[in-house]
Amino acid sequence: MPLTSKGTVVSKIGIILGSTRPGRNGEAVARWVLDIAKQRSDAEFELVDLLDFKLPHLDEINSPIMGQYTQPHTLEWARKIASFDGFIMVTPEYNHSTSGALKNAIDFLYAEWNNKAVGFVSYGALGGARAVEHLRLIAGELQMADVRAQVALSVFTDFENYKVFKPNDFHAETLHTVLDQVIAWSKALAPLRAA
């Protein structure tokens, strides 16, 4: 965790854009999350776009729990994820779950996710709620602390013509609650990460 000029610890939070689909709604959502997050001074925030990492379908021979990564793309992904203290995952809901791209990216690693907080911003016909339910199960297996608060965006009421992102005003307040919880848990878990 980086220190401020006053010596206080500042969490570094990755905002993971969990869709790689052409014309994805998630890019506007992730940038909205980043814009709101950057108004805060209690953490550092960085957008992590899965498109930038070009991860193929999982192609490591060994289980990620062994930490014996061999592929250059895995090593690059591992370095990026290891650099964060916590995450906000921006996920669509596809067929009652998260995107295959996000699940695949998660499955590449193990220790890099451990003892870190995670919050969720989801979107879909039912606000992406079912995608987040699956991600919460995955987070538990990866020894992540998933926070209770969640931003659930409806493609019917938060997107004009299902494509142009225009979130209702109350979502910003909910997002701040998610950020509060992720930052608090990231700091609380710091001793476990240090061990």
**What's the pLDDT tens digit per position in 143-167?**
999 999 999 999 999 999 999 999 9
Nearest 5°: CA angle at 188, between 183 and 193? 100
CATH superfamily of 11-194: Flavodoxin domain (3.40.50.360)
- pLDDT value of position 2: 55
Alpha helices in 41-99 (DSSP H): 72-82
**Number of other residues whose CB lies within 10 A of the CB of residue 179:** 26
Per-residue pLDDT at 5: 44
- Reported as a pLDDT band with limits 50, 70 and 90, residue 195 is confident
Number of H helices, E strands in the chain: 6, 7
pTM for this predicted structure: 0.94
Pairing of β 159-160 and β 164-165: antiparallel
Within its chain, how far is the Cα of 165 from the centroid? 19
DSSP state of 97: B
pLDDT in tens, 55-75: 999 999 999 999 999 999 999
- Map out the domains of the chain as residue ranges: 11-194
E-state strands within the chain: 11-17, 43-49, 86-92, 117-124, 145-154, 159-160, 164-165
| pLDDT: which is higher, 10 or 113 | 113
Number of neighbouring beta carbons within 10 Å of residue 96? 12
Q: Which two tokens stand for residue 67?
A: 């930490």
The Cα 113–Cα 79 span in angstroms is 11
